[in-house]
Amino acid sequence: MTAAPLRMAIVGASGYAGGEMLRLALGHPHLEVVQVTSERHAGQPVASVHPNLRSLTRLRFTPLDALEDADVLVSALPHGHFAEHLDAFEARAETVVDLSSDMRLTDPDRYARTYGAPHPAPDRLAGYVVAVPELHRADLVGATRIAGAGCLATAAQLALAPFLRTAILARRETLIDAKIGSSAAGATPGPSTHHPERAGALRTYAPVGHRHEAEVAEALQGRLDVHLTATAVPRVRGILATAHLWVQDGTSERDVLEAIREAYDEEPFVRLVLARRGVHRTPDPKLLDGTNWVDLGVALDPDSGRLVVTTALDNLVKGTAGGALQALNVARGFEETTGLTFPGLHP
- Per the CB < 8 A criterion, the answer to whether 182 and 198 are in contact is yes
How far is the C-alpha of 23 from the C-alpha of 322, rounded, in Å? 10
3-state secondary structure of 42: coil
Cis peptide before 234 (omega within 30 of 0): no
Residue 300 annotated among the catalytic residues of the structure = no
Among residues 59, 151, 224, 240, the one annotated as catalytic is 151
Amino acid in position 231: T
Biggest CA pair distance of the chain: 64
> Can you list the alpha helix ranges (DSSP code H) found in 108-251?
108-115, 133-140, 151-160, 195-198, 212-220
Q: State how far the Cα of 316 lies from the Cα of 321, in Å rounded to an integer.
A: 6
Best CA proximity match to 165, nearest among 138, 133, 135, 140: 135
Paired residues of 306 in beta bridges: 246, 301
Active site residues: 151
